[in-house]
Structure 1
Protein backbone atom coordinates (compact mmCIF):
# COMPACT_ATOMS: atom_id res chain seq x y z
CA UNK A 1 0.00 0.00 0.00
CA UNK A 2 1.45 3.34 -1.10
CA UNK A 3 1.45 6.18 1.43
CA UNK A 4 0.50 8.56 -1.36
CA UNK A 5 -2.93 6.98 -1.54
CA UNK A 6 -3.60 8.05 2.05
CA UNK A 7 -2.69 11.59 1.03
CA UNK A 8 -5.40 11.36 -1.64
CA UNK A 9 -7.89 10.07 0.91
CA UNK A 10 -7.02 12.95 3.22
CA UNK A 11 -7.49 15.51 0.47
CA UNK A 12 -10.88 14.14 -0.57
CA UNK A 13 -12.24 14.04 2.98
CA UNK A 14 -10.89 17.48 3.85
CA UNK A 15 -12.48 19.02 0.77
CA UNK A 16 -15.84 17.42 1.51
CA UNK A 17 -15.86 18.63 5.12
CA UNK A 18 -14.70 22.13 4.14
CA UNK A 19 -17.55 22.45 1.64
CA UNK A 20 -20.12 21.49 4.26
CA UNK A 21 -18.61 23.84 6.83
CA UNK A 22 -19.00 26.70 4.36
CA UNK A 23 -22.65 25.77 3.84
CA UNK A 24 -23.24 25.64 7.59
CA UNK A 25 -23.52 22.45 9.59
CA UNK A 26 -26.80 21.08 10.86
CA UNK A 27 -26.42 18.24 13.34
CA UNK A 28 -28.94 15.42 13.29
CA UNK A 29 -29.26 13.15 16.32
CA UNK A 30 -28.59 9.44 15.70
CA UNK A 31 -29.50 8.41 19.24
CA UNK A 32 -32.85 7.87 20.89
CA UNK A 33 -31.18 8.40 24.27
CA UNK A 34 -28.91 11.41 24.62
CA UNK A 35 -27.27 13.26 21.76
CA UNK A 36 -25.12 11.50 19.16
CA UNK A 37 -24.66 14.00 16.32
CA UNK A 38 -24.13 13.33 12.63
CA UNK A 39 -23.82 16.00 9.95
CA UNK A 40 -23.73 16.18 6.19
CA UNK A 41 -19.96 16.64 6.58
CA UNK A 42 -19.76 13.10 7.99
CA UNK A 43 -21.79 11.70 5.12
CA UNK A 44 -20.09 13.70 2.37
CA UNK A 45 -16.62 12.76 3.61
CA UNK A 46 -17.49 9.08 3.67
CA UNK A 47 -18.96 9.24 0.17
CA UNK A 48 -15.72 10.79 -1.07
CA UNK A 49 -13.56 8.22 0.68
CA UNK A 50 -15.65 5.34 -0.62
CA UNK A 51 -15.59 6.61 -4.19
CA UNK A 52 -11.80 6.94 -4.19
CA UNK A 53 -11.28 3.47 -2.70
CA UNK A 54 -13.76 1.94 -5.15
CA UNK A 55 -11.89 3.57 -8.03
CA UNK A 56 -8.46 2.26 -7.01
CA UNK A 57 -9.28 -0.95 -5.14
CA UNK A 58 -12.63 -2.24 -6.36
CA UNK A 59 -11.97 -5.70 -4.92
CA UNK A 60 -11.53 -4.46 -1.34
CA UNK A 61 -14.26 -4.41 1.27
CA UNK A 62 -15.35 -1.13 2.87
CA UNK A 63 -16.98 -0.68 6.26
CA UNK A 64 -17.98 2.90 6.94
CA UNK A 65 -19.72 4.38 9.94
CA UNK A 66 -22.38 6.16 7.88
CA UNK A 67 -23.01 3.80 4.94
CA UNK A 68 -22.26 0.35 6.29
CA UNK A 69 -20.46 -2.61 4.76
CA UNK A 70 -19.68 -3.51 1.16
CA UNK A 71 -18.05 -6.79 0.10
CA UNK A 72 -17.99 -8.19 3.66
CA UNK A 73 -16.17 -11.36 2.56
CA UNK A 74 -13.19 -9.52 1.06
CA UNK A 75 -9.92 -10.41 2.88
CA UNK A 76 -8.78 -6.78 2.70
CA UNK A 77 -11.14 -4.22 4.20
CA UNK A 78 -11.10 -0.46 4.73
CA UNK A 79 -12.61 0.92 7.93
CA UNK A 80 -13.87 4.50 7.74
CA UNK A 81 -14.84 7.02 10.37
CA UNK A 82 -15.22 10.10 8.18
CA UNK A 83 -15.47 12.47 11.15
CA UNK A 84 -14.37 11.13 14.50
CA UNK A 85 -15.34 13.70 17.11
CA UNK A 86 -18.42 15.17 15.45
CA UNK A 87 -19.23 16.89 18.75
CA UNK A 88 -15.92 18.73 18.50
CA UNK A 89 -16.62 19.64 14.88
CA UNK A 90 -20.01 21.19 15.62
CA UNK A 91 -18.47 23.10 18.56
CA UNK A 92 -15.70 24.55 16.40
CA UNK A 93 -12.95 22.62 18.22
CA UNK A 94 -9.90 21.31 16.30
CA UNK A 95 -9.71 17.78 17.75
CA UNK A 96 -11.96 16.07 15.19
CA UNK A 97 -10.29 13.62 12.83
CA UNK A 98 -10.74 11.61 9.67
CA UNK A 99 -9.93 7.99 10.47
CA UNK A 100 -9.04 5.38 7.87
CA UNK A 101 -7.91 1.89 8.82
CA UNK A 102 -6.83 -0.95 6.55
CA UNK A 103 -7.16 -4.56 7.67
CA UNK A 104 -6.12 -7.84 6.06
CA UNK A 105 -7.71 -11.00 7.42
CA UNK A 106 -8.63 -9.03 10.52
CA UNK A 107 -5.12 -7.70 11.16
CA UNK A 108 -4.49 -3.95 11.23
CA UNK A 109 -1.89 -3.30 8.53
CA UNK A 110 -2.18 0.46 7.92
CA UNK A 111 -3.95 3.49 9.28
CA UNK A 112 -4.44 7.24 9.07
CA UNK A 113 -5.35 9.81 11.72
CA UNK A 114 -5.94 13.02 9.82
CA UNK A 115 -6.46 16.23 11.80
CA UNK A 116 -7.60 18.72 9.16
CA UNK A 117 -8.15 21.67 11.52
CA UNK A 118 -4.48 21.38 12.53
CA UNK A 119 -3.25 20.52 9.01
CA UNK A 120 -1.67 17.42 10.50
CA UNK A 121 -1.83 13.89 9.13
CA UNK A 122 -0.36 10.74 10.66
CA UNK A 123 -0.05 7.71 8.40
CA UNK A 124 1.24 4.25 9.26
CA UNK A 125 2.18 1.93 6.42
CA UNK A 126 4.74 -0.86 6.47
CA UNK A 127 5.45 -0.65 10.19
CA UNK A 128 6.39 3.02 10.57
CA UNK A 129 4.34 6.14 11.31
CA UNK A 130 4.90 9.48 9.64
CA UNK A 131 3.53 12.84 10.75
CA UNK A 132 3.29 15.18 7.76
CA UNK A 133 6.02 13.11 6.12
CA UNK A 134 8.38 12.98 9.09
CA UNK A 135 8.96 10.08 11.45
CA UNK A 136 6.68 10.09 14.49
CA UNK A 137 7.81 8.45 17.71
CA UNK A 138 6.15 7.89 21.05
CA UNK A 139 7.78 9.32 24.16
CA UNK A 140 8.79 5.88 25.41
CA UNK A 141 7.50 6.79 28.89
CA UNK A 142 7.63 3.66 31.04
CA UNK A 143 6.34 4.83 34.46
CA UNK A 144 2.77 5.66 35.46
CA UNK A 145 4.02 8.37 37.81
CA UNK A 146 5.45 10.24 34.82
CA UNK A 147 2.62 9.57 32.40
CA UNK A 148 0.37 12.12 30.74
CA UNK A 149 -3.04 10.45 30.54
CA UNK A 150 -6.11 11.18 28.43
CA UNK A 151 -9.63 9.90 27.98
CA UNK A 152 -12.44 11.48 26.01
CA UNK A 153 -14.96 11.75 28.86
CA UNK A 154 -14.62 10.22 32.35
CA UNK A 155 -18.42 10.22 32.61
CA UNK A 156 -18.45 7.38 30.08
CA UNK A 157 -17.01 5.09 32.76
CA UNK A 158 -19.69 3.63 35.04
CA UNK A 159 -19.36 1.58 38.21
CA UNK A 160 -16.34 -0.70 38.34
CA UNK A 161 -14.98 0.76 35.10
CA UNK A 162 -14.91 4.23 36.66
CA UNK A 163 -13.16 2.83 39.73
CA UNK A 164 -10.62 1.10 37.46
CA UNK A 165 -9.95 4.28 35.50
CA UNK A 166 -9.54 6.24 38.73
CA UNK A 167 -6.88 3.80 39.93
CA UNK A 168 -4.90 4.64 36.80
CA UNK A 169 -5.64 8.36 36.83
CA UNK A 170 -4.55 8.95 40.40
CA UNK A 171 -1.12 7.50 39.66
CA UNK A 172 -0.45 9.56 36.53
CA UNK A 173 1.25 12.95 36.40
CA UNK A 174 -1.64 14.75 34.67
CA UNK A 175 -4.86 14.03 32.80
CA UNK A 176 -6.54 15.78 29.86
CA UNK A 177 -10.06 15.16 28.53
CA UNK A 178 -12.04 15.60 25.34
CA UNK A 179 -9.51 14.82 22.62
CA UNK A 180 -11.18 11.87 20.85
CA UNK A 181 -8.82 10.31 18.27
CA UNK A 182 -6.42 13.23 18.61
CA UNK A 183 -5.28 11.68 21.91
CA UNK A 184 -3.97 8.63 20.04
CA UNK A 185 -2.22 10.89 17.57
CA UNK A 186 -0.51 12.51 20.55
CA UNK A 187 0.65 9.11 21.77
CA UNK A 188 2.30 8.68 18.38
CA UNK A 189 3.92 12.13 18.46
CA UNK A 190 5.23 11.77 22.01
CA UNK A 191 3.04 14.47 23.56
CA UNK A 192 0.78 12.15 25.57
CA UNK A 193 1.79 8.84 27.11
CA UNK A 194 -1.40 6.94 27.91
CA UNK A 195 -5.03 6.75 26.73
CA UNK A 196 -7.68 4.62 28.45
CA UNK A 197 -11.15 4.38 26.91
CA UNK A 198 -14.22 2.17 26.72
CA UNK A 199 -17.23 1.83 24.46
CA UNK A 200 -15.29 2.23 21.22
CA UNK A 201 -16.55 0.73 17.98
CA UNK A 202 -14.36 -0.67 15.18
CA UNK A 203 -14.58 2.59 13.22
CA UNK A 204 -13.23 4.39 16.29
CA UNK A 205 -10.14 2.22 16.73
CA UNK A 206 -9.28 0.51 13.43
CA UNK A 207 -7.17 3.45 12.20
CA UNK A 208 -5.47 3.96 15.55
CA UNK A 209 -3.84 0.57 15.96
CA UNK A 210 -1.28 0.81 13.17
CA UNK A 211 -0.51 4.48 13.91
CA UNK A 212 0.28 3.86 17.59
CA UNK A 213 2.27 0.71 16.91
CA UNK A 214 4.17 2.29 14.04
CA UNK A 215 5.36 5.06 16.36
CA UNK A 216 6.74 2.60 18.88
CA UNK A 217 3.77 2.61 21.23
CA UNK A 218 1.62 -0.28 22.38
CA UNK A 219 -2.14 -0.66 22.08
CA UNK A 220 -4.31 -3.41 23.48
CA UNK A 221 -7.37 -4.21 25.56
CA UNK A 222 -7.95 -3.78 29.29
CA UNK A 223 -6.75 -7.29 30.21
CA UNK A 224 -3.38 -7.39 28.47
CA UNK A 225 -4.46 -8.81 25.12
CA UNK A 226 -5.37 -7.46 21.71
CA UNK A 227 -9.08 -8.24 21.57
CA UNK A 228 -10.50 -4.85 20.66
CA UNK A 229 -14.02 -6.17 20.07
CA UNK A 230 -15.17 -5.18 23.57
CA UNK A 231 -14.32 -1.56 22.84
CA UNK A 232 -12.08 -1.19 25.90
CA UNK A 233 -8.78 0.23 24.67
CA UNK A 234 -5.47 1.16 26.28
CA UNK A 235 -2.80 2.92 24.19
CA UNK A 236 0.57 3.62 25.74
CA UNK A 237 3.95 5.07 24.85
CA UNK A 238 5.63 1.77 25.76
CA UNK A 239 4.77 -1.85 26.52
CA UNK A 240 5.94 -1.39 30.10
CA UNK A 241 3.58 1.54 30.65
CA UNK A 242 0.73 -0.41 29.06
CA UNK A 243 1.35 -3.34 31.41
CA UNK A 244 1.34 -1.04 34.45
CA UNK A 245 -1.95 0.52 33.37
CA UNK A 246 -3.53 -2.90 32.81
CA UNK A 247 -2.36 -4.01 36.24
CA UNK A 248 -4.17 -1.06 37.84
CA UNK A 249 -7.29 -1.53 35.73
CA UNK A 250 -7.57 -5.08 37.05
CA UNK A 251 -6.40 -4.53 40.62
Structure 2
Protein backbone atom coordinates (compact mmCIF):
# COMPACT_ATOMS: atom_id res chain seq x y z
CA UNK A 1 0.00 0.00 0.00
CA UNK A 2 1.57 3.30 -1.09
CA UNK A 3 1.77 6.44 1.02
CA UNK A 4 -0.72 8.33 -1.22
CA UNK A 5 -3.24 5.50 -0.86
CA UNK A 6 -2.83 5.50 2.92
CA UNK A 7 -3.27 9.27 2.96
CA UNK A 8 -6.54 9.04 1.04
CA UNK A 9 -7.88 6.28 3.29
CA UNK A 10 -6.78 8.15 6.43
CA UNK A 11 -8.47 11.39 5.35
CA UNK A 12 -11.67 9.50 4.60
CA UNK A 13 -11.59 7.92 8.06
CA UNK A 14 -10.90 11.29 9.68
CA UNK A 15 -14.21 12.61 8.32
CA UNK A 16 -15.97 10.55 11.00
CA UNK A 17 -13.56 11.10 13.89
CA UNK A 18 -14.75 12.47 17.21
CA UNK A 19 -17.77 11.38 19.22
CA UNK A 20 -20.08 13.88 20.77
CA UNK A 21 -23.02 12.75 22.83
CA UNK A 22 -26.24 14.38 21.68
CA UNK A 23 -28.50 15.44 24.56
CA UNK A 24 -32.09 14.33 24.42
CA UNK A 25 -34.69 17.04 23.77
CA UNK A 26 -37.38 15.05 25.56
CA UNK A 27 -38.21 16.45 29.00
CA UNK A 28 -40.91 14.09 30.20
CA UNK A 29 -44.68 14.48 30.19
CA UNK A 30 -46.28 17.90 29.94
CA UNK A 31 -47.58 19.32 33.24
CA UNK A 32 -51.34 19.19 33.47
CA UNK A 33 -53.09 22.52 33.14
CA UNK A 34 -55.31 23.47 36.07
CA UNK A 35 -58.91 24.02 35.01
CA UNK A 36 -60.48 25.66 38.04
CA UNK A 37 -64.20 26.12 38.16
CA UNK A 38 -65.41 29.63 37.61
CA UNK A 39 -62.51 30.78 35.36
CA UNK A 40 -63.53 32.78 32.27
CA UNK A 41 -64.18 30.69 29.18
CA UNK A 42 -61.67 32.77 27.17
CA UNK A 43 -58.95 31.86 29.67
CA UNK A 44 -59.79 28.15 29.51
CA UNK A 45 -59.79 28.19 25.71
CA UNK A 46 -56.45 29.98 25.62
CA UNK A 47 -55.01 27.48 28.10
CA UNK A 48 -56.25 24.56 26.02
CA UNK A 49 -54.71 26.03 22.87
CA UNK A 50 -51.42 26.52 24.66
CA UNK A 51 -51.55 22.94 25.91
CA UNK A 52 -52.06 21.71 22.33
CA UNK A 53 -49.09 23.81 21.16
CA UNK A 54 -46.89 22.40 23.92
CA UNK A 55 -47.93 18.86 23.03
CA UNK A 56 -47.11 19.47 19.36
CA UNK A 57 -43.75 21.01 20.29
CA UNK A 58 -42.87 18.01 22.46
CA UNK A 59 -43.80 15.68 19.64
CA UNK A 60 -41.45 17.55 17.30
CA UNK A 61 -38.71 17.49 19.95
CA UNK A 62 -39.10 13.72 20.22
CA UNK A 63 -38.81 13.34 16.43
CA UNK A 64 -35.75 15.61 16.33
CA UNK A 65 -34.13 13.57 19.12
CA UNK A 66 -34.76 10.36 17.21
CA UNK A 67 -33.21 11.81 14.03
CA UNK A 68 -30.14 13.01 15.94
CA UNK A 69 -29.72 9.61 17.58
CA UNK A 70 -29.84 7.94 14.15
CA UNK A 71 -27.33 10.49 12.81
CA UNK A 72 -24.98 9.69 15.70
CA UNK A 73 -25.38 5.98 14.98
CA UNK A 74 -24.60 6.63 11.30
CA UNK A 75 -21.41 8.46 12.29
CA UNK A 76 -20.25 5.60 14.51
CA UNK A 77 -20.99 3.06 11.79
CA UNK A 78 -19.06 5.03 9.16
CA UNK A 79 -16.17 5.49 11.63
CA UNK A 80 -15.95 1.72 12.17
CA UNK A 81 -16.24 0.88 8.47
CA UNK A 82 -13.56 3.32 7.34
CA UNK A 83 -11.31 2.28 10.24
CA UNK A 84 -11.50 -1.37 9.16
CA UNK A 85 -10.44 -0.45 5.62
CA UNK A 86 -7.59 1.71 6.92
CA UNK A 87 -6.34 -1.00 9.30
CA UNK A 88 -6.26 -3.54 6.48
CA UNK A 89 -4.30 -1.11 4.31
CA UNK A 90 -1.76 -0.48 7.07
CA UNK A 91 -1.30 -4.21 7.53
CA UNK A 92 -0.56 -4.55 3.82
CA UNK A 93 1.90 -1.65 3.92
CA UNK A 94 4.44 -3.65 5.90
CA UNK A 95 4.47 -6.57 3.46
CA UNK A 96 6.60 -6.73 0.31
CA UNK A 97 5.36 -9.03 -2.48
CA UNK A 98 8.18 -11.22 -3.80
CA UNK A 99 6.58 -12.48 -7.02
CA UNK A 100 4.30 -11.22 -9.80
CA UNK A 101 1.24 -13.07 -8.52
CA UNK A 102 1.58 -11.48 -5.08
CA UNK A 103 2.10 -8.07 -6.67
CA UNK A 104 -1.07 -8.42 -8.71
CA UNK A 105 -3.01 -9.51 -5.63
CA UNK A 106 -1.69 -6.52 -3.69
CA UNK A 107 -2.77 -4.17 -6.48
CA UNK A 108 -6.21 -5.79 -6.52
CA UNK A 109 -6.58 -5.28 -2.76
CA UNK A 110 -5.44 -1.66 -3.03
CA UNK A 111 -8.05 -0.90 -5.68
CA UNK A 112 -10.75 -2.74 -3.75
CA UNK A 113 -9.99 -0.81 -0.56
CA UNK A 114 -10.08 2.54 -2.33
CA UNK A 115 -13.44 1.63 -3.86
CA UNK A 116 -14.75 0.44 -0.49
CA UNK A 117 -13.65 3.61 1.31
CA UNK A 118 -15.21 5.73 -1.39
CA UNK A 119 -18.45 3.77 -1.09
CA UNK A 120 -18.50 4.22 2.71
CA UNK A 121 -18.09 7.99 2.36
CA UNK A 122 -20.81 8.24 -0.29
CA UNK A 123 -23.21 6.13 1.77
CA UNK A 124 -22.57 8.28 4.84
CA UNK A 125 -23.18 11.42 2.79
CA UNK A 126 -26.49 10.04 1.52
CA UNK A 127 -27.58 9.21 5.07
CA UNK A 128 -26.56 12.67 6.28
CA UNK A 129 -28.58 14.32 3.51
CA UNK A 130 -31.53 12.17 4.44
CA UNK A 131 -31.33 13.18 8.11
CA UNK A 132 -31.01 16.85 7.13
CA UNK A 133 -34.06 16.56 4.88
CA UNK A 134 -36.09 15.10 7.74
CA UNK A 135 -35.04 17.97 10.01
CA UNK A 136 -36.03 20.47 7.31
CA UNK A 137 -39.41 18.78 6.98
CA UNK A 138 -39.94 19.09 10.73
CA UNK A 139 -38.97 22.76 10.58
CA UNK A 140 -41.49 23.27 7.79
CA UNK A 141 -44.21 21.61 9.83
CA UNK A 142 -43.46 23.91 12.78
CA UNK A 143 -43.57 27.07 10.65
CA UNK A 144 -46.55 26.27 8.42
CA UNK A 145 -49.94 24.77 8.99
CA UNK A 146 -50.68 21.62 7.02
CA UNK A 147 -54.19 20.43 6.17
CA UNK A 148 -56.08 18.40 8.77
CA UNK A 149 -54.05 15.24 9.52
CA UNK A 150 -57.01 12.96 8.79
CA UNK A 151 -57.44 14.24 5.20
CA UNK A 152 -56.04 12.32 2.24
CA UNK A 153 -54.33 15.48 0.94
CA UNK A 154 -52.55 15.95 4.28
CA UNK A 155 -51.36 12.35 4.28
CA UNK A 156 -50.01 12.79 0.75
CA UNK A 157 -48.28 16.07 1.64
CA UNK A 158 -46.69 14.58 4.74
CA UNK A 159 -45.56 11.55 2.75
CA UNK A 160 -43.98 13.74 0.06
CA UNK A 161 -42.24 15.91 2.65
CA UNK A 162 -40.83 12.80 4.30
CA UNK A 163 -38.91 12.15 1.08
CA UNK A 164 -37.01 15.46 1.07
CA UNK A 165 -33.40 14.83 0.10
CA UNK A 166 -34.08 11.64 -1.86
CA UNK A 167 -32.37 11.68 -5.26
CA UNK A 168 -34.13 12.21 -8.58
CA UNK A 169 -33.85 9.15 -10.82
CA UNK A 170 -35.76 9.04 -14.08
CA UNK A 171 -38.46 6.35 -14.00
CA UNK A 172 -38.14 5.77 -10.23
CA UNK A 173 -41.25 5.53 -8.07
CA UNK A 174 -39.77 5.28 -4.56
CA UNK A 175 -39.47 4.76 -1.79
CA UNK A 176 -35.94 6.21 -1.78
CA UNK A 177 -35.60 7.67 -5.29
CA UNK A 178 -38.14 9.31 -7.56
CA UNK A 179 -38.85 11.12 -10.74
CA UNK A 180 -41.41 13.93 -10.59
CA UNK A 181 -44.53 11.89 -11.30
CA UNK A 182 -43.19 8.97 -9.27
CA UNK A 183 -43.01 11.18 -6.19
CA UNK A 184 -46.61 12.39 -6.31
CA UNK A 185 -47.88 8.92 -7.23
CA UNK A 186 -46.01 7.38 -4.28
CA UNK A 187 -47.13 10.12 -1.88
CA UNK A 188 -50.79 9.72 -2.79
CA UNK A 189 -50.49 5.94 -2.60
CA UNK A 190 -49.59 6.39 1.09
CA UNK A 191 -52.98 8.09 1.44
CA UNK A 192 -54.78 5.28 -0.41
CA UNK A 193 -55.35 7.34 -3.56
CA UNK A 194 -54.25 5.79 -6.87
CA UNK A 195 -52.81 8.19 -9.45
CA UNK A 196 -51.72 7.54 -13.01
CA UNK A 197 -48.01 6.88 -13.49
CA UNK A 198 -46.83 9.59 -15.87
CA UNK A 199 -47.08 13.37 -15.84
CA UNK A 200 -48.94 13.29 -19.13
CA UNK A 201 -51.65 11.11 -17.57
CA UNK A 202 -51.66 12.82 -14.16
CA UNK A 203 -52.52 16.13 -15.79
CA UNK A 204 -55.93 14.58 -16.45
CA UNK A 205 -56.39 13.18 -12.92
CA UNK A 206 -58.95 14.82 -10.64
CA UNK A 207 -60.49 18.19 -11.38
CA UNK A 208 -58.95 21.49 -12.55
CA UNK A 209 -58.35 24.20 -9.95
CA UNK A 210 -57.47 27.87 -10.41
CA UNK A 211 -54.23 29.21 -8.97
CA UNK A 212 -56.13 31.38 -6.50
CA UNK A 213 -57.82 28.25 -5.09
CA UNK A 214 -54.76 26.01 -4.82
CA UNK A 215 -54.61 23.88 -1.67
CA UNK A 216 -52.01 21.54 -0.12
CA UNK A 217 -52.04 18.24 -2.00
CA UNK A 218 -53.01 19.72 -5.37
CA UNK A 219 -50.93 18.63 -8.36
CA UNK A 220 -49.11 21.54 -9.96
CA UNK A 221 -47.90 21.44 -13.58
CA UNK A 222 -45.47 24.22 -14.56
CA UNK A 223 -45.40 22.55 -17.99
CA UNK A 224 -46.70 19.33 -19.51
CA UNK A 225 -43.58 17.34 -18.66
CA UNK A 226 -43.28 18.14 -14.96
CA UNK A 227 -45.47 17.81 -11.88
CA UNK A 228 -45.13 19.18 -8.35
CA UNK A 229 -47.31 18.96 -5.23
CA UNK A 230 -48.63 22.07 -3.51
CA UNK A 231 -47.89 22.17 0.23
CA UNK A 232 -49.36 25.56 1.12
CA UNK A 233 -47.88 29.01 1.75
CA UNK A 234 -46.98 29.46 -1.92
CA UNK A 235 -44.70 26.41 -1.93
CA UNK A 236 -44.48 23.03 -3.64
CA UNK A 237 -42.52 19.84 -3.06
CA UNK A 238 -40.98 18.27 -6.15
CA UNK A 239 -38.41 15.91 -7.61
CA UNK A 240 -37.08 18.49 -10.07
CA UNK A 241 -34.51 16.96 -12.43
CA UNK A 242 -31.55 14.63 -12.77
CA UNK A 243 -28.73 15.51 -10.39
CA UNK A 244 -31.11 17.10 -7.87
CA UNK A 245 -32.94 15.82 -4.80
CA UNK A 246 -36.55 16.08 -3.67
CA UNK A 247 -36.90 19.66 -2.48
CA UNK A 248 -39.27 22.50 -1.59
CA UNK A 249 -39.69 25.21 -4.25
CA UNK A 250 -41.79 28.27 -4.89
CA UNK A 251 -45.17 27.98 -6.59
CA UNK A 252 -44.89 29.28 -10.14
CA UNK A 253 -47.12 31.76 -11.95
CA UNK A 254 -48.06 30.11 -15.25
CA UNK A 255 -49.21 26.72 -14.01
CA UNK A 256 -51.99 24.17 -14.41
CA UNK A 257 -53.43 22.64 -11.25
CA UNK A 258 -55.41 19.45 -10.71
CA UNK A 259 -56.99 18.23 -7.48
CA UNK A 260 -57.07 14.42 -7.07
CA UNK A 261 -60.44 13.02 -6.01
Structure with the higher fraction of residues in helix conformation: 2
Relative to the length of structure 1, the TM-score reads 0.32
Higher strand share: 1
Question: Computing the radius of gyration over CA atoms, which structure comes out larger, 1 or 2?
Answer: 2
- What is the TM-score when the length of structure 2 is the normalising length? 0.31
